[in-house]
């Protein structure tokens, strides 16, 4: 009986891993079918979700038409809101298994092999036009070891450099919302010391977002330590780490009130400009 139970556990693990990579492959495929940037008309706006797996939408139900994760869920919240009168597109620029170091500009990186993700993203017209940028990044920093290790202080410094690079590229016109690092499953996958590192990362992220001159605001706190609402098991996919469809829906519902007033102000500024006020 024990042998049969062990086979059952192995089969379950196999199918979870298989489903994981199927979802990942579908996410990459969906990027090719992403809608084009709207250029007709004067009242078009853009939001970009940038970061690691959590920005990418891994764990969510995915379709080629609607995309996945926070990107598709925020778009649905916008569509339901009557006070939003102009056109808003939400684009996904999450990258699988990336650390904060992977998103630095080459000049800011300590690595011999310089990263290029942010430079490529900044050259993307969808990013160039973005009014609002949401960042979900840093959950893989704790796993970096050896010469590539990233301390909590390094993580926040990297995030600061990323935000500053985004603003320099747009003359400081974007609003950036920076989330804390998700900590679901830390108790199972990380040592006590690593868990403490992630707590410190989130404390430093909150401190930076509360006091900066980079146009950065604190996004949704998705860590278990500061937001008990994100401790519910049904918010996470089978791996216990990535958000589920329910989790991304909640994340979007929590994010939308944070960015709504910003969106309305940006819409009103276009009306004022056209009226010559």
Residue 182: its pLDDT value, please? 95
pLDDT value, residue 276: 72
Are 50 and 104 a contacting pair, CB within 8 Å?
no
Q: In the chain, how many domains are there?
A: 1
Q: pLDDT per residue over 136-188, tens digit each? A: 999 999 999 888 899 999 999 999 999 999 999 988 789 999 999 999 999 99
Distance, CA of 22 to chain centre: 20
- The CATH number of the domain where 25 resides is what? 3.40.50.1110
Residue whose structure tokens are 């050896």: 146
The predicted structure's pLDDT at residue 273: 82
Q: How close are the terminal C-alpha atoms of the chain, in Å? A: 78
Query: How many other CB atoms are found less than 10 A from the CB of residue 238?
Result: 14
User: Could you state, in chain order, the average pLDDT of each consecutive group of 10 residues for the chain (277 residues)?
Assistant: 57 55 59 77 93 91 74 96 96 94 95 90 96 98 92 98 96 93 93 96 98 97 90 92 95 98 95 79
Nearest to 166 by CA among 190, 208, 131: 131
pTM of the model as a whole: 0.89
Instruction: Quote the pLDDT of residue 159.
Output: 98
Question: What is the pLDDT at residue 152?
Answer: 98
Domain extent at residue 252: 2-275
Q: Which stretches of 2-130 are assigned E, i.e. beta strand?
A: 44-51, 87-94
What pLDDT does residue 20 have? 57
């Amino acid at each position: 009986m024990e042998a049969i139970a062990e086979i059952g556990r192995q089969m379950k693990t196999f199918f979870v891993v298989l489903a994981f990579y199927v979802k990942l492959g579908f996410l990459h495929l969906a990027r090719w079918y992403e809608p084009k940037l709207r250029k007709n008309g004067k009242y078009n706006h853009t939001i970009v979700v940038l970061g690691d797996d959590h920005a990418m939408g891994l764990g969510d139900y995915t379709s080629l038409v609607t995309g996945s994760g926070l990107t598709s869920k925020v778009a649905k919240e916008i569509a339901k809101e009557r006070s939003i009168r102009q056109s808003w597109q939400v684009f996904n620029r999450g990258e699988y298994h990336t650390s904060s170091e992977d998103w630095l500009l080459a000049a800011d990186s300590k690595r011999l092999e310089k990263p290029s993700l942010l430079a490529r993203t900044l050259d993307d017209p969808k990013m160039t036009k973005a009014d609002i940028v949401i960042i979900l990044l840093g959950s893989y920093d704790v796993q970096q070891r050896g010469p590539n290790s990233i301390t909590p202080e390094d993580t926040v410094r990297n995030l600061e450099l990323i935000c500053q690079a985004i603003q320099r590229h747009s003359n400081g016109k974007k609003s950036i919302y920076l989330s804390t690092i998700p900590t679901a499953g830390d108790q199972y996958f990380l040592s006590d010391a690593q868990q403490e590192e992630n707590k410190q990362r989130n404390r430093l992220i909150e401190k930076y977002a509360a006091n900066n001159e980079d146009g950065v605001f604190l996004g949704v706190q998705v860590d278990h330590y500061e937001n008990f609402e994100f401790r519910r098991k049904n918010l996470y996919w089978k791996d216990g780490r990535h958000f589920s469809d329910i989790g991304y829906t909640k994340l979007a519902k929590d994010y939308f009130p944070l960015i709504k007033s910003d969106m309305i102000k940006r819409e009103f500024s276009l009306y004022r400009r056209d009226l010559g006020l």
